[in-house]
A and B are shown apart, each in its own frame.
Chain A
Amino acid sequence: MRVFEGLRFRRVPSPIHELDPRSKAVYVAVLSVLSIVYSDPLILAILMVMQIPLVYIAKVMRFWLNSLRGSTFLAVFIFAVNLLTSYLYMGGFTLEGLLTATAMTLRFILLMGVFSLFFLTTTPEDLSLALEKLRIPYDICFAFTAAMRFVPDIALEAQSIMDAQKSRGLELERGGFIERIRKTLPILVPLFIRSFQRSLELAEAMESRAYGAIEKRTSLYELKMARNDYVFMILSIILLTATLLIKPP
């Protein structure tokens, strides 16, 4: 559940929160490109370390670390699978295999960290406005922000469902791999059904409040790029080009 917590907006006053979502999106894009282009664990590690001051300025260190901690299981899984495939392909453990596995894991952690920082510091409303500015149809923007908005609710619901099934003697921690997968059904089925019910309820509630009655929507708040936004965007682009020039992949 911790992973979800790390993707949820936290309202704290900080310069990062005040940045325009579009300039933050440029930063996310730059780091995503870099993390995919490079497979050198050292560079990926440096990029990871570079996040820390930003997270610190944004005052969301605790939540950010929580989301990283929450993704430990997947990180270990990615490492193990990569190591295993390299073992099978090369017929033994090699330094190269180890480096690839490390790079893949670091790449995952880096992406997780970047996205977590973005979502922790961007309100769903700002995100929706930014998407609209990019001329994405409002229906799609709304669906996207509604999905983000419901993530914590669904996480809570998953917890309730787990509690209910544990009260009926379901032991999630016991049994072999196949057994454990089979045991997730009593959790996943009610969770999916509740999600469908929820979206139908939401649709009805929106229609009764005249959603879509006006063709062209206007907003009370308009997003405006400020000086800081341009600075942040330009710094991000400099980071991209400088890295690519200094050490071409």
Chain B
Amino acid sequence: MIEVRDVYYTYPNGFTALKGVNLTIRKGECVAIMGENGAGKTTLVKHFNGLLKPTRGTVVVDGVDTRETSVAQLARKVGLVFQNPDHQFFSETVEEEVAFALRNFGFPEDEVERRVEKVLKRMGLLEYRKSSPFSLSGGEKKRLAIASIVVFEPEYLVLDEPTIGQDYIQKVEIRRVIDSYLETGRTVVIVTHDLEFVVDLRPRVVLMSRGRILADGKAEEILSDSKLMDDASLLLPQMTELAYKLGNPKIPRTILDENDMLEVVKPLLKHRGVWRS
């Protein structure tokens, strides 16, 4: 469990990025943190593995206060994948890049080899194992960055903007990784602007704005609330927007995507005899 209690954070330059954040993330949950640029999303997740320590308040990961332990120890539990893959590659080959964290955490060499192979296969990068990380395409780089963290199977996987600049096929791949991670009973936290991706994933949604948490709840409740979404400078999902515009009492506004819409509209059309299946 990650417990964030009344956390304030002020950067050395005087900017206060977090102003009294309270948040509890339980094991096995899938959480999306959303909000405008500069809302404090990345600052918040950097507290999860101790890269930043709260100016005021506490962050407790599985019973351990982040102030009383090292980043390396927390990183073993909370795997943080950064936005820009170019900020981490340095090895000559893809497999060395993936093995880096395992070696830092002192895994035995045969285990390193086994895990590297397994994760590269899962990420569809096995054929590049001897290539340079810098020769990969944008999407492959992103997957390699995720692989370099997933490989040590942290209890909590935190992805900062995983879908930014990715095409549809890459997004499907990333979604697959998230699903298989959740299947093992582990926790996934994503920081994102990608409304489509979140609508599809249906996680618990935490809405942030100007260093505070505006709302926290099911995707259906949060993403369809026009007032909340407006406060967080986010647009409503297209289908929700349509439901609002239809203004029909039989069409609820908690609709998020085309499947929700279909479910509601189908009986209405059938009733009028317009529907042909």
Contacts and interface: CB of A to CB of B under 8 A. Distances in A.
Are A and B bound to each other?
A: yes
Interface of A: 157, 160-161, 163-171, 185-186, 188-190, 193-194, 197
29 contacts: A157-B87, A161-B87, A161-B88, A163-B51, A163-B82, A164-B87, A165-B88, A166-B71, A166-B75, A167-B49, A167-B51, A167-B71, A167-B82, A167-B149, A168-B75, A168-B101, A169-B72, A169-B75, A169-B100, A169-B101, A170-B104, A185-B90, A186-B90, A188-B90, A189-B89, A189-B90, A190-B88, A190-B89, A193-B89
B146 interface: no
A21 B175 CA distance: 56
Contacts of A166: 51, 71-72, 75
A161 B104 CA distance: 16
Nearest to A1: B12
A167 B51 CA distance: 8
Residue among A167, A170, A171 with the most chain B CB within 10 A?
A167
A160 B134 CA distance: 18
Contacts of A197: 86
Interface string B35-60: 00000000000100101000000000
A170 B79 CA distance: 13
Nearest to B98: A168
Given A168-B149, A188-B90, 5 more contacts: A166-B72, A169-B76, A169-B105, A189-B90, A197-B86
Nearest to A188: B90
Contacts of B79: 167
A168 B89 contact: no
Nearest to A192: B90
B87 A160 contact: yes
B80 interface: yes
Contacts, number: 64
B134 A193 contact: yes
A156 B31 CA distance: 28
Given A163-B46, A163-B82, A168 B148 contact: yes
A197 B148 CA distance: 22
A67 B104 CA distance: 33
B74 to A, nearest CB: 9
B37 to A, nearest CB: 16
B90 A190 contact: yes
A188 B89 CA distance: 10
B82 A160 contact: yes
Nearest to A161: B87
Which among B51, B72, B148, B152 has the greatest number of chain A C-beta atoms within 10 A? B72
A33 to B, nearest CB: 35
A110 to B, nearest CB: 26
A169 B152 CA distance: 10
A166 B134 CA distance: 21
Given A163-B51, A163-B82, A166-B51, A171 B88 contact: no
B71 A168 contact: no
B70 interface: yes
A204 to B, nearest CB: 17
B86 A168 contact: no
B69 interface: no
B84 interface: yes
Nearest to B83: A160
Contacts of A170: 72, 100, 104
Nearest to B89: A190
A125 B246 CA distance: 56
Nearest to A157: B87
Contacts of B46: 163
Nearest to A158: B87
Interface string B133-159: 010000000000000110010000000
* Max chain B Cβ within 10 angstroms of own Cβ: one of A160, A189, A190, A194: A190
A186 B89 CA distance: 8
- The CB with the most chain B CB atoms within 10 A, among A169, A171, A194, is that of A169
Contacts of A160: 82, 84, 87
A186 B72 CA distance: 15
Contacts of B148: 168
B70 A171 contact: yes
B54 to A, nearest CB: 16
Given A169-B101, A171-B70, A186-B100, A164 B82 contact: yes
Interface centre among B71, B88, B100 (most CB of A within 10 A): B88
Nearest to B88: A164
Give 9 nearest A-B pairs by CB, closest first: A169-B104, A189-B90, A168-B101, A164-B88, A167-B80, A164-B82, A186-B90, A166-B71, A171-B72
